[in-house]
Amino acid sequence: MNWTFLARAVAKACLDCRPGERVFSAVMSVCFFFVIATFWVLKPIKKTAFIAQFDVSGVNVLSWHLSASEAELVAKILNMVVAFVAVVVFSALAGRFQRQQLVHIFGAFFIVCFVAYSAVLAQPSDSTVWTSICSATCSAR
């Protein structure tokens, strides 16, 4: 088997872009790599901070008293719910607005979220750990 031919065929299939698009494609690939790498670096830090916050006293959610590990499982379920709602909202907005308008809508949304979250961080409490999970989920998407 001719490995050089196979490597070129795979490279052409995966990296087939016009000469004017190569730099843009490379920059977007590097950006995607950094987003994913940052997510995987922050993931164990987020888990450690969450468990450390509720390790001694646990947390009360509605009428339930949860230990740190139980609260983490609830937080993971809430992450899935938030992701599902985000997909539904994005799908609805994508069908209604043009791409350029969506950039402005989501840009404004994240600016408002970051300003609100900075206010939450100014006065941290037990709920701050819960909101950090939601903000990390939203910004990773």
Whether 48 and 30 have beta carbons less than 8 Å apart is answered as no
DSSP state of 2: -
Check whether 140 has a pLDDT greater than 50: no
* Alpha helices (H) along the chain: 3-15, 22-54, 68-96, 99-122, 126-140
Domain that holds residue 33: 3-140
For range 53-79, the mean pLDDT: 80
Confidence at residue 129, expressed as pLDDT on a 0 to 100 scale: 61
Burial class (CB in 10 A: 0-12, 13-18, 19+), 6: exposed
Confidence at residue 6, expressed as pLDDT on a 0 to 100 scale: 79
Percent of all residues in the chain with a pLDDT value above 90, rounded to a whole number: 24
* End-to-end Cα distance, the chain: 41
Neighbours of 54 (CB within 10 A): 20
Q: Of 22-26, 71-75, 106-110, 136-140, where does mean pLDDT reach its minimum?
A: 136-140
pLDDT band of 107, cuts 50, 70, 90: very high
For range 93-98, the mean pLDDT: 92
Check whether 50 has a pLDDT greater than 80: no
Counting the structural domains of the chain, the total is 1
Round the average pLDDT of the chain to a whole number and report it.
80
pLDDT band of 67, cuts 50, 70, 90: confident
User: Which tokens hold the place of 59?
Assistant: 């947390």
Check whether 2 has a pLDDT greater than 60: yes
